[in-house]
Structure 1
Amino acid sequence: MKPPFYTLAAKYAVLLFASAVVLYPLVWMTAMSFKPYSEWTTVAGVRWFPTQPTWDNYVFLLQGHVDSLAVTIEKTLAKPLFSSLVTSVCGTLIAVIAGTLSSYAVARFGVAQKLPLSLLQLRLFPPLAVIIPLMVMWSFIGAVDTWWGISLIYGIVTLPFAFWLMKTFFEEVPVEIEDAARVAGCSYWRIFYRITLPIARPGLATCTLFVFIMNWSDYQLALILTQKDWVTLPVYMSSLNTALDNQMYGMKAALGVIAAIPPIVLGLLIQKHLVRGLTFGALKQ
């Protein structure tokens, strides 16, 4: 039976409202990134879109200065962007690989039954409660302001999330499939690599995206564990407050647009697995 017209109208109205709420800050940030200095500091009124679009905000981030502004910055965007990419990707690989292997062992073989709760404790403690001993430990091993030190802590911090998420996905995979493969003579590793992991691929893609976003957007750990060589994008954005009376809105908006590109690109690359990963229970049908 076809639903009444007012029901469909109400659904579309809710969807349009939710889309507007989500897209409003993105549209505003993108428009702000193309506004010249005279428009994002004006008091004559707020304009949605720039009347004189310019690339000056992006040029300023890449070169450290533009002709229209009598201000410069010492550090440009290139190195923080590279630092964020390296540390986020490496931290994501550590968390996803370790979380996938350990969660499969717990879900299928019942080993280390206390491991799930032990990993969960890493997320229960606030970062400020462990940051002092962490800083002392990282200083002792020479990991402060290094790419591998930041990547390692990113992998450790996001490991519980990856573990619990992949454990849920592996528990959704029918165990009868693995039993049939084992009867046919497949080894445990071959079963995991050739059968279970391809079935759980949507969950693995979803886990990778979420873990990458968590590492990519981290500010607190990067602020404490970086000094100058491996400063990430969130820390670099805070340094833009030191010029133009803390009103570098156009540059910050341009940096926000650039920072949003890698997660969006990763989401587009795995979009065919993303919806299935978010509704993995469909495997039971």
Structure 2
Amino acid sequence: MSRPQSRLLQTARVAFLITWTLLIAFPLYWTITMALKPKSEWTGTTWFPSKLEWSNFAEVLIPGYGDDGLSFIETPIKDALGPLKDSLVISVGGTLLAVILGTAAAYAISRYRFGGSLLPFNILSVRMFPPIAAIIPLMVMFSTVQLVDSYVALILVYGGLTAPYAVWLTKSFIDDLPRELEEASMLDGNTRLGALTKVTLPLIAGSVATTALFVFIVIWSDFVIAFTLGGTNVEAVSVRIASLTSATQGQLYGPQAALGLIAALPAIVLGLSIQKYLARGLTFGAVKR
């Protein structure tokens, strides 16, 4: 390939990447600007707010905001601290349950071929089944034992539905880990469980962190299950965002965008805090020795 052609190809690649990045970043930009727009510009086509309006955040965060007449909403909305706490409890609990079950099952399948060759596919088929088809039977079942609108029900359902992700992701990482490392540990006097806890788990810690982050985001962003099995006692932040409406003003786009940005923070903070593990987990097994 000649030098002019190579430069043209390089320019086309850069242009494509810039265009693709702008397309991906545009929804985030629109959400940020919407959260900072005054009420009169929510349904307009302005690309940037005429003035920065922080009251959208106050509407969803400050309890009783607007009691002194500051609110631009006729009926002040409930603060979102409760739904944020509920979502955090549900997401952390469901993630821990999915990762523990997924790691144990992945190790048994990878090292002992437990369940035969069809078991991994059967586990994955749980995710092929749409959750909406099972949500009504689950609601009836938890209603029978009086667990609807509770942390226990949501953690159990989310943990069970996301465990297949954890199994498949963790199994691939364990498959890439040489068996000889565990065998050498057992020759030194460790049991199989000791080899798992002292050798295998530390080596795949980054991979487990990657799996946990993926599962956490799946649970945190879900709406249907949280809406069906939740209620007044337990309300996920995704449900609260959808409920920000007014009989006279319609959709409260400003507070919805503000709460959406706040709801994105836990996943961002978690991703940054385990960034060193993510880099290792996402590339684990990519280089064979």
Query: Following the alignment from structure 2 to structure 1, what is the Cα–Cα distance between the partners of residues 17 and 9?
Result: 12
**d(CA) in 2 for partners of 1:244 and 1:259?**
26
In 2, Cα distance between the equivalents of 1:100 and 1:2?
52
RMSD: 2.0
Q: Which runs of 5+ in 1 are unaligned?
A: none
For residues 2-22 of structure 1, the C-alpha deviation after alignment (integer angstroms, 9 at most, x for no partner) is 983333322222221121111
98, 103, 113: which one pairs with 1:100? 103
Letter in 2 for 1:30: I
1:127 is matched with 131
- Partner of residue 266, structure 1: 270
Distance 1:30 1:115 in 2: 45
Q: What residue in structure 2 maps to residue 36 of structure 1?
A: 38
The letter for the 2-side match of 1:275 is: A
Q: Which residue of 1 aligns with 2:74?
A: 71
Aligned position for 1:158: 162
Moved more, 12-21 or 227-236: 12-21
Larger helix share, 1 or 2: 1
Cα drift, residue 169 of structure 1: 0.9
Distance 2:272 2:85 in 1: 21
Q: Which residue is equivalent to 1:23? A: 25
Match of 1:47 in 2: 46
1:1-285 superposed matches below 5 A: 4-42=6-44, 46-62=45-61, 63=63, 65-66=65-66, 67-113=70-116, 114-285=118-289
Tell me the amino acid that sits aligned with residue 123 of structure 1.
Answer: R
1:52-84 superposed Cα distances (whole Å, 9 cap, x missing partner): 102100111123544151422453201111100
Contact 1:205 1:273 in 2 (8 A): yes
Q: Give the partner amino acid of 1:31.
A: T
What percentage of aligned pairs have identical amino acids? 43
Measure how far apart 1:111 and its partner are.
2.0
Structure 1 range deviating more: 31-40 or 110-119: 110-119
TM-score by length of 2: 0.91
Deviates more, 1:240-249 or 1:123-132: 240-249
Is the CA contact 1:30–1:254 (under 8 Å) kept in the aligned structure 2? yes
Letter in structure 1 aligned against 2:39: Y
Aligned residues: 282
Q: Report if aligned partners of 1:65, 1:71 keep a CA contact under 8 Å in 2.
A: no
- Residue 239 of structure 1, CA deviation: 1.0
TM-aligned CA deviation for residue 201 of structure 1: 1.8
Q: Compared with structure 1, are the counterparts of its residues 253 and 283 closer, same or farther at alpha carbon in structure 2 (3 Å cutoff)?
A: same
Moved more, 217-226 or 66-75: 66-75
Work out the CA distance in 2 between the residues paired with 1:92 and 1:2.
53
1:237 Cα deviation after fit: 1.2
TM-score, length-scaled by structure 1: 0.92
- Please give the per-residue CA displacement for 1:61-108, whole angstroms capped at 9, x wherever unaligned: 123544151422453201111100000110000001110111111101
